[in-house]
Amino acid sequence: MNFIRILFNYFIFPGFLFTAIVGMFLTWIDRKVTARVQMRVGPPWYQPYADFMKLLLKETIIPEGASKTLFFMGPIFGLISMSILAVMLFTMNFSPENSFAGDLIVMIYLLALPPIGVIIGGSASKNPLASVGASREMTQYFAYELPFLITIAGIVLKSGGTIKFGEIVYLQRVNGPFLYSISGIIFAIVFLLVIQAKLGFVPFDIPEAEQEIMAGPYIEYSGVALAIYKITKAMMLLLLPVFMISILWGGVGDWWAILKLLLIIVLIILIKNTNPRLRIDQALKFFWIFLGIFAIIGLVLAMKGL
Amino acid sequence: MGDFKLWGLKKSPWVFHVAAASCNNCDIEILDVLTPKWDVERFGIVLVGSPRHADALLITGVLNRKSLPRVLRVYEQTPKPCLVIGVGTCTCHCHMFEKSYNVVGPYDRHIPVDVFIPGCPPKPEAIIMGVVKALKRLG
C-alpha cells in the first residue's frame, strides 16, 4: 500500500504529471505576457500542450558519431531530478513533520542536476555549436551557484542553524516569513536573479543563444528528447518560485501562495523582456562580484538579526 | 490518438528559414511576417534556429549548383514529417535566372515541395495564406 502511494506521489500528484501540466500552463503565461509587452495578441492557452504533442509525433534523430547513451541521458537526468524535487517540495510544505535531516542539501543537489544533464547531452552530441553552448552552460552554472549558496546559508542562519526544509517552513509559519526584514529583502532580490539564470531567461540565456549559436546544447535534439527538455524547463518554471516561496515567503500552504507564485513569475518575465543578453564574462562578473558582495551584506545583516 | 497528434502538428508549426540564393527580397518579407504587426505566434508559428527543431522549411531564392547540396542536406536533417514551403517566384520556376548557366532548375525537380507561394516578393498576407494551405493538406 505504501509502495503504491509512493508511486502515485512520484508519477501523478505532486510529482511528474501535476508539475508538468501546471508548468506548461505557466510557460503559456510567459508567452502571453511577453506578447502583451510587445503589443501582440499571443498564443492561445493550449499552445504548450500542442507543442508537446507535436514533438512526441516527430522522428528523433541521433547524430552520426554521437554517444547514444549519453545523448539520451542528458534530458532524462533533468526530468527525474525535477520529479523528485516536486515530490519533496510539496509533501514537506503540506506536512513539515515528514522532513529528514539535511533535505535542504538534497534539494540543492537536485537543482544542480538539470544543468549537468544539459552539459552531458550537449557534449555528447558531437556538434561544435553544442560544445560551445555546453561550455557556456558550465561557466554560467559556476557563476550563479555562488550567490545561490550564500543565500541558502543566510536562510539557514536566520532559521537558527537548521538544515531541515520542513523546519524552515514551520518556523516561518510560527514567526512570520523571513522576507519581512532587511536581509530577507536582499536575499529575495538575489534569489530572483538566480532563478532567472537557472531558467535560462533572457539576460542570462547565454548557453542557448538562438541568434548566435542556434540553440546551444539543444541544437542536435529533436522529437521526444527535445520534448523532455521543454517539459523540464516548464517544471523548473513552477518549482523554482515554489522553492523561493517556501524558504523565504512562508510556504505554499494557503491560497495566497498562488498569487505569490504569479507575482514572482510576472516579475521574472518582465526582467526577461526589458533586458538584452549579456556576454558570458559580464554574467560571471555580475554574479561573482556584484551579487556575491550583495549577498554577503545580507548574510552579515542576518547575523546581526536584522 | 492519431488525430490528437495531427492536431498538435497543425497547431504548432515551427519554421526554419533557408535562404538558398543571394537575392533577399523574400527573406525580408518572411521577417515581416514574424514581426509584431502580423504576429504569427497567435497560430503557434515560431522561428527556430536549428533544422532539427523545425516542422516547416521556408525556402527562398533560386536553386543553383552551389546551394543544391546544402538545401538537400538541410532537408535531410529535418525530422519527418516536415513541410517544405517555397516562397517567391524563383522557387516555382527559375524566374529571370532561367537561362543562367549555374541554375539547376525549379525545386520540385529535387525535393518534394508542398506549397509554392508566387510573387517577387510575395506579400506577408500571401505567405500566411500559403502556410495555412500547407497545413490543410495535412488532413
Three-state SS annotation for A60-76: CCCCCCCCHHHHHHHHH
Look at A54 and B8 and tell me if their CB atoms are within 8 Å: yes
Cα distances (Å, whole numbers) of residue A72 to A16, A61, A112: 18, 11, 18
Q: Counting Cβ atoms within 10 Å, is residue A5 exposed (0-12), middle (13-18) or buried (19+)? A: exposed
Mean of the per-residue pLDDT values of chain B: 84
- A50/A25 Cα distance (integer angstroms): 12
Check pLDDT > 80 for residue B137. Answer: no
Contact criterion met (CB < 8 Å) for B44 and A50: yes
Residue B53 grid coordinates? 527543431
Q: Helices then strands (H, E): number in chain B?
A: 5, 5
Each residue's pLDDT expressed in tens, for chain A with a length of 306 residues: 688 888 877 788 888 889 999 999 999 999 999 999 988 888 889 889 988 888 888 888 888 888 888 888 888 988 999 999 998 888 888 877 777 777 889 999 999 999 999 999 888 888 888 889 899 999 999 999 999 999 999 989 888 888 888 888 888 888 888 888 888 899 999 999 999 999 888 888 888 877 778 788 888 888 889 999 999 999 999 999 999 998 888 878 788 888 999 999 999 999 999 988 888 889 899 999 999 999 999 999 988 877
**Interface residue B48 vs chain A (CB under 8 A):** yes
Whether A57 has its CB under 8 Å from any CB of chain B: the answer is yes
pLDDT of residue A25: 93
Question: Residue B5 pLDDT > 70, yes or no?
Answer: no
Q: DSSP character for B79?
A: P
> How high is the pLDDT of residue B2?
63
For chains A and B, CB pairs below 8 A equal 87
Q: Chain A contacts of B7, Cβ < 8 Å?
A: 50, 53
What angle (nearest 5°) sits at the alpha carbon of residue B28, between those of residues B24 and B61?
Answer: 35
B47 DSSP assignment? E
- Residues of chain B neighbouring A38 (CB-CB closer than 8 A): 36
Q: Say yes or no: A212 contacts chain B, CB-CB below 8 A.
A: no
Question: To the nearest whole angstrom, how far is the Cα of B26 from the nearest Cα of chain A?
Answer: 20
Handedness of CA A116, A117, A121, A124 (dihedral sign): positive
Whole-angstrom distance, CA of residue A259 vs CA of residue B130:
42
Q: How far is CA A170 from the centre of its chain?
A: 23
Q: Residue A53's pLDDT is what?
A: 86
Residue from B1, B53, B76, B138 whose CB has the most chain A CBs within 10 Å, to mutate: B53
What is the pLDDT at residue A194? 92
From A49, A53, A59, residue closest to B80, measured CB to CB:
A59
% of chain B exceeding 90 in pLDDT:
4
Q: How confident is the model at residue B134 (pLDDT cuts 50, 70, 90)?
A: confident
Taking the Cβ of residue B15 and every Cβ of chain A, the question of whether any pair is shorter than 8 Å is answered with no
Interface pTM, i.e. ipTM: 0.83
Residue A58 touches partner B, C-beta closer than 8 Å: yes
Q: Say yes or no for a CB contact (<8 Å) between B8 and A38.
A: no
Q: Least CB-CB distance to A223: which of B7, B9, B79?
A: B79
Alpha-carbon gap: A208 to the closest alpha carbon of chain B (Å): 10
CB contact under 8 A, B53 and A222: yes
d(CA A155, CA A301): 12
Chain B, residues 59-78, CB within 8 A of chain A, namely 77
B112: contact with A, CB 8 A cutoff: no
pLDDT digits (tens, 9 = 90+) for B31-78: 888 888 888 888 888 888 888 888 888 888 888 888 899 999 999 888
Q: Do A43 and B44 touch (CB under 8 A)?
A: yes
Q: Give the per-residue pLDDT at A1.
A: 66
Residue whose C-alpha cell reads 524552515 in the numeric block: A168
Q: Is B36 on the interface with A (CB under 8 A)?
A: yes
Question: What is the DSSP code (8-state) at residue B129?
Answer: H
Please answer whether residues A235 and A245 qualify as being in contact, where contact means their C-beta atoms are separated by less than 8 angstroms: no
- The whole-number pLDDT of residue A26 equals 92
Residue B87 · residue B130 · CB < 8 Å: yes
Query: Cα separation of A149 and B28, whole Å?
Result: 47
The three three-digit cell numbers of residue B106, written as one number: 525549379
Cis before residue A276, ω within 30 degrees of 0?
Answer: no
Does B34 touch chain A if contact means CB atoms closer than 8 Å?
A: no
Q: Average pLDDT for residues B87-107, to the nearest whole number?
A: 83
Q: Could you tell me which chain B residue has the CA closest to the CA of A39? A: B36
CB-based contact A219 B50, cutoff 8 Å: yes
